[in-house]
Structure 1
Amino acid sequence: MPLPGDGRVVYDAMLASKNELLEWLEFARNNQELEQVEQNVREAHVQFLARKDLRLHIFHRETGVFIGSTGLHHIDWMVPKFEIGYWIDTRYSGQGYMVEAIEGLTVFAFYALGANRIEIRCDTKNTKSRKIPERLGYTLEGVLRQDSLDNHGNLRDTCIYAKIRN
């Protein structure tokens, strides 16, 4: 769970990954200062404790360095279902860390939280992000055509991948 004081490491990773994050994630377009990132981390901590949004920070197992973030979002406890979101510090991209994190989070959601459905959504053009659910056996259920705007203000398409409890 995000902890107060994590803002600095999150901010540094966002700064190092700005060019890559800008292309795909709305929060990266806001040019946040350190204080804003820390405030966001504190709000995420409160949301986690209230079980409204379960953001998680990913730290390298051996070095303890912050390398990214994931979490369970758009929670519907009645179904129960979750949407997984994620981003990784560019310096750690392509090394399998996010696949490992999402695999673990998927197992946690199904077995510890009793999830019936887990979704992952991403831009159809975000090939790196798409590889994660595909590699983990998520099913591409469909594409929402022209459902949101990209960072240039153009309409974009969104893939919906899902896994359901067996």
Structure 2
Amino acid sequence: MDPILIDVPLQIETDRLILRAPQQAGDGNVVHQAIKDSINELKQWLSLFQAIPTVEETEILLRNAHIDFLKRESFRYLIFHKDTNDFIGTASLHRVNWKISKCEIGYWINSQFSSKGYMTEAVSELTNLGLQKLKFRRIEIRCESTNYKSRSIPEKLGFELEGTLRNDDLSADGSKLTDTCIYSIIK
């Protein structure tokens, strides 16, 4: 089946969260503010956030994510608290390979909401979406070996550490070689 015909929910609810595809004009404002508030943490791990993007750049990033969602190339979700509507962060199924039936999950959190289990809850829901609804046979989570907060999420969710690729990538700021941990869960 052509992936464009696969129904993928634009919104998902968990006990505490609403995950929805970036589709509303103005999403860039709320995401931009979270990036500004969290830049010190984000720039340690994400090359995308070595500087604070403009609101316009953030809006463009989100609109392109929506296009990729519609094309079934990746599925980014914005995460909001169900009761307060506070923006928590983003999580996505990306690096989708329909022929092999696999993907990778990536995520970042608004720093003020870290250590509350929100991202674990969101990633758990995306893992279920990937394995159950989208029928992926493999889901990976890759992160820098020293990013212990990020590593704790797949470990809590039963992903298996398949290995650590030594000198696999550059640090987010490009200053040194880093090791990459690869976690997976298979169906």
What is the TM-score normalised by the length of structure 2?
A: 0.86
Cα distance per residue 1:58-89 (max 9 Å; x no partner)? 00111111110001010001110010000000
Cα distance per residue 1:106-146 (max 9 Å; x no partner)? 01101110010000000000000000000000000011111
- Deviation at residue 31 of structure 1 after TM alignment: 3.0
SS in structure 2 at match of 1:38:
helix
Aligned to 1:159: 181
- Equivalent residue for 1:25, pick from 24, 46, 49: 46
- Equivalent residue for 1:60, pick from 65, 81, 106: 81
Superposed CA RMSD in Å reads 0.9
Is 1:144 the counterpart of 2:165 in the alignment?
yes
Aligned to 1:9: 30
Aligned to 1:106: 127
Sequence identity, in percent? 47
Q: Which runs of 4+ in 1 moved over 3 A?
A: none
* Matched residues, number: 165
Aligned to 1:130: 151
What 5-or-longer segments of structure 1 have no aligned partner? none
Aligned to 2:14: none
